[in-house]
Amino acid sequence: MKPLLNERICALFRSNWQHTLTYWSVFFSFGLCVAFLGPTILDLRCQTQSTLQEITLVFFSQQFFLFIGSTIGGFFSKTLVSSLSALAVSTLIISVVFAVIPLCHKLFLLAFAMAVSGLAMGSIDTISNLQLVKIYQKDSTVFLQALHFFVGLGALMSPLIADPFLSDTNCVIGNSSINTTSLSHLRNTLAGRQIHNVSSVHLHTEGEVVTNISYAFWIMALINLPIPIGIFILMYREHLFACGSPSRRLLDGDVLVKKTWGTTGQSEENGHQKEDPKSQIELFSCCLLGNMHRLPLSFFGIHILGGLVLFFYDGIVGSYTGFVYTYAVAPPMSLPHKTAGYLTCVFWAAITVGRLSAIPLSYRLKPVKFLIVSQVGVIVTLLLLLIFSNSSVFLFIGTCCLGLFISSVFPCMLALTEDILEYKGCATTVLVTSAGMGEMLLQVLVGSVMYSCGSFSFLLCGMVFGCMGFIFFILLFFVQQNHRNFTEVLPNNPPIERLEENGIKTYSSAGLNSWEISEWKASIDPEQ
């Protein structure tokens, strides 16, 4: 059975490899943007000749508009044309932003550039996740794991590219009171958005600016540039531009038809199918007022609970990345600044390795089992970090284990929720937006708590977030059972409708997922 499953998934990938590689590559762009700001923030402060408190505005600008971009990204996912167009424009914008950042010598211009990059990042986040779920449906876990591996890869590469060009001393000539060690400490502290501990640090804003950080941004712009070019080439090859043949402009529904036939071992003989009016679904159409009387409370409960799970677990990722350095250099851990600086890299490396190793594991474990193992692992790791809070060795071991366990929560949660809701498309936008909101808000909360209660509260906050996320996951499991029972007894809705349109057989379901549909078809029609 397992070899057949692998063969089927490989066949699906061969059918959609160009689009899949496109979504993976744009997530590499997303990763580049995620991690570059922290290491370069002091050089950007010198470039804009602003204070430490002023430069932290760019963090908020990028994160806030990333949240907005995640929310509106779903509007560009209605058709394949709009999805690829939005991704091409977004990745091109990222390259342009990288190229113009060295030219932003005013804080307002830099904040505006970060806001534009945040919008592009948010659109990439929502569209890529949504399109992969639409294409692969019940098999999407494997491909979502690979997708999120690329964001980790980009987040690892970005600081490595920037590191050779970072200033070893204060980059505004005229202030010699800060040495290399304290500058490194300040850089790592600012990378965590922790402005409370640096409010008493005053650096000169006037003088000659000496920094080579421009080269790092231009290198990242060049590395990212082939991605939008590749998307435009793909659109041209598939005649998806306005000048192309209308019959070739596929809707996502056409890709879904192709995928459904692929899962049952069938293949299309006619290539591209006729556009199905039913596939032209607006964002959140499953929640429109006209359909409210048909939807159970469990439908909305699944969206809310799934969003809350990712709200807390993405909040753990954001807060741990942001404040593990501050926790490590403070008593009782009191690690050297240079040693503590490696913790963030270890965490991101563990997340990347975890997502890479999760790709083959996803063949054998269902998303719900994967999620249980991952969340229990996160909670146990945080508990052990609390118990051994005085051990610097276990801090590195725990950071590595935490990254490995938490790496698969987002893609598995996304695949599970969409499977429960039969791939209506609303869940992906809600979950991505909730995750972005959690990463943004919980970082602020953890920073405030650490400032007022001490560094030990950092791990305690992570433990609370992990337990809250797991509680909401358990509630989601029970709501899922009620929702499945409801959909199975829907009146005036037969389990399977068999339609004939232009000689092409399609199927729609009420209460059955894609695997159950294929099993039902095989049982009533051996030829299918």
Over residues 378-435, the pLDDT tens digits come to: 999 999 999 998 888 999 999 999 999 999 999 999 888 888 887 666 788 888 889 9
**Inter-axis angle of helices 80-100 and 2-35, nearest 10:** 40
Per CATH, the number for 1-283 is: 1.20.1250.20
Sign of CA pseudo-dihedral 469, 473, 474, 476: positive
Residue 262 has a pLDDT of: 39
What's the pLDDT band for 372 if we cut at 50, 70, 90? very high
- Count other Cβ atoms within 10 Å, centred on residue 454: 13
pLDDT digits (tens, 9 = 90+) for 141-189: 888 888 889 988 888 888 888 888 887 766 666 655 565 556 666 666 6
Is pTM beyond 0.85? Reply is no
Cis-peptide, bond into residue 332, ω within 30° of zero: yes
1-283 and 290-482: identical CATH topology: yes
Element counts in the chain: helices (H) and strands (E): 20, 2
Whether residue 26 has pLDDT greater than 70: yes
Domain coordinates in residue numbering, the chain: 1-283, 290-482, 489-528
**Residue 501 backbone phi and psi in degrees, to 5:** -130, 115
Alpha carbon distance 168, 412 (integer Å): 42
The CATH fold assigned to 290-482 is: Growth Hormone; Chain: A; (1.20.1250)
Kindly state the tokens that stand for 259: 């995928």
pLDDT digits (tens, 9 = 90+) for 439-484: 888 988 988 888 888 888 889 999 999 999 999 999 998 888 777 7
